[in-house]
A and B are shown apart, each in its own frame.
Chain A
Amino acid sequence: MNTTILLFLLQDGITNGAIYALLGLALVLVFAVTRVILIPQGEFITFGALTYASLSAGQMPGTIKLAVAMGIVAFAFDLFTFRRALHAKRVLRSVAVNIIVPLAIWGVMLALSGRPANIAVNITLSLLIVAAIGLYLYRIAYQPIAHTSVLVLLIASVGCHLALQGFGLVFFGAEGQRGPAISSDAITIGALRFTGQSIAVYGITIALIVGLWLFFGYTLYGKALRATAVNRLGARLAGIRTTLSGQIAFLLASVIGAISGILIVPITTLYYDTGFLIGLKGFVAAIIGGLVSYPLTAAAAILVGCVEAFSSFYASNYKEVIVFTLILPVLVLRSLAAPAVEEEKD
């Protein structure tokens, strides 16, 4: 192996790894706060990427209709929950969040359609749509069963994944799509060529990680989210609404998923079901991080990216086998290292 190939593979691995890191962080966040293992994270990636690609191609993505429809269902769920105490303030807030927001996004999209595509506007719209879908998904699918076991929540995740993936096929078809790069510049350092896109990947990943760190360490809402993750009943007794924490977690996760998708779609062709596999690799990283540690998850994600890059070079047939088997020795090590002390609470 020569150095150029080594460096090239490393660069490739780190770029992918950065994306997996973002996804892994989002998975850890959602799991810690809501105990949901977010399998539909993959669909947030796909929806973000393909919404952005469609907008860039001057098409109206179907995801906005989904957002509007889910908003209406979420509003109906809210009304049903409020039925005993129907305060005008609550209902109005629900109308604003669930009905007006998606309609407003749709309105902006209609107003802008036909004009030349602006990357920043398209990215913003894509993020907003996916964020809305993430928020409503929590309201509709998870909030009513928020108190059940991890297993039930996990199965619900599978249901959401299946349904959303089905919608993905309906909206975007079976054909793959690519989107325009955020930056088409490139720098060359020695034998390595850094595209603007890969630099954007690094920059945005680092910015998001630092942002999350500040959010959790220094803001009241960030601390409230952590509190919910540590002790749900304790958080509720302090007046922190579990549903609020869940909504914030899903908002963050869906935005992070969509950003990842938008970062990838200029590099690789994405299909309606690609997100699932990408999400699963973020998952591998999250699991290696034990679903609790953010820094470990980020490091593991880089490792996953590199292993993937090297195995696709040396044993491309067994790439997926290697990536997913990687998890096992790590899990065993973690189990051995972790003290086998049983939690006193159940």
Chain B
Amino acid sequence: MSSQTDALLQVADAHVAYGKVEAVRAVNLEVRDGEIVTIIGANGAGKTTLLNAAMGIFPLKGSVRFAGKEISKLDIEDRVAAGLSLVPEHRELFATMNVEDNLLLGAFRIDKATAARSFEHVYTLFPRLKERRKQLAGTLSGGEQQMLAMGRALMGAPKLLMLDEPSLGLAPIIVADIFRIVGELKAAGVAVLLVEQNAQAALKIADRAYVMELGEFVLDGKASDIASNQRVVASYLGFQHESDSGI
């Protein structure tokens, strides 16, 4: 693994445990500026746990450095203020508030001028949200909710966006749309750490990838190399190839 000191996010020797069960073991991970990095692996491999622990939702043993500072002892809110943002698996929107207020609160920690620019950016990325800005978040469709969750996270102008299973429960046609936008984020200079079960789609847009199994990273490298790795093809891509070719 290439280890650069100027990585945006650098997780070193991370362990996360639920009670006695260690869900993440001795994980080392880094994301550099402007990079899309994906973590693929089966459900229960510990991907979501790792992401949540990096955000501060669960305690993590080990080191998490972000933008040059150790953040592993900070609260979630302080990590947000530092420029780290998570779109969680269950989206965690403010269901009884409208789209605009959801987005507005995403900019809670930043100044008004930046927030105004963020609004513009988010509405350009997701024109659908602008159309629905007075609608309650809870009444949006699944795909729109995912867009809103991403939009809310982007409102805080993060340096790194961590996406947890953005495709979960969405129809393929909407998934394609979401992944296209993730690609656009890279162009806008936001680094992305993407946890995905849909390994095929994730590897297509990522620069680098880690493969996680039972709480540990078993493989990492350039996404294109990972995509052609025999072992990965056998355990994660085989089925999706089958399904794609079938359609």
Contacts and interface: CB of A to CB of B under 8 A. Distances in A.
A239 B156 contact: yes
Interface in A217-245: 220, 223-224, 226-227, 230-231, 233-241
Interface string B5-36: 00000000000000000000000000000000
Interface of B: 55, 57, 73-77, 80-81, 85-86, 88, 90-97, 101, 104-106, 108-109, 152-153, 155-156
Contacts of A231: 92-95
Q: From A233, A234, A237, name the one whose CB has the most chain B CB atoms within 10 angstroms.
A: A237
Interface of A is mostly: helix
A115 interface: no
A216 to B, nearest CB: 10
A328 B95 CA distance: 30
A89 interface: no
Given A223-B101, A233-B57, A233-B88, A241 B95 contact: no
Contacts of B92: 231, 233-234, 237
Contact of A237 (B74, B95, B101, B153): B153
Contacts of B73: 84-85
Nearest to A232: B92
Contacts of A241: 75, 77
Contacts of B75: 241
Nearest to A217: B101
B55 A238 contact: no
B152 A238 contact: yes
Interface string A62-87: 00000000000000000000001100
A237 B93 contact: no
Contact of A227 (B77, B94, B156): B94
Given A84-B73, A223-B101, A233-B57, A239 B94 contact: no
Nearest to B152: A238
B176 to A, nearest CB: 26
B151 to A, nearest CB: 11
13 contacts: A220-B108, A223-B104, A226-B96, A227-B105, A231-B94, A231-B95, A233-B88, A236-B77, A238-B108, A238-B155, A239-B77, A240-B77, A241-B77
A240 B85 CA distance: 13
A85 B73 CA distance: 8
B95 A235 contact: no
Contacts of A239: 77, 80-81, 108-109, 156
A240 B155 CA distance: 13
A223 B55 CA distance: 23
A231 B97 CA distance: 11
Interface string A227-266: 1001101111111110000000000000000000000000
Contacts of A235: 94, 105
A233 B93 CA distance: 9
A238 B97 CA distance: 14
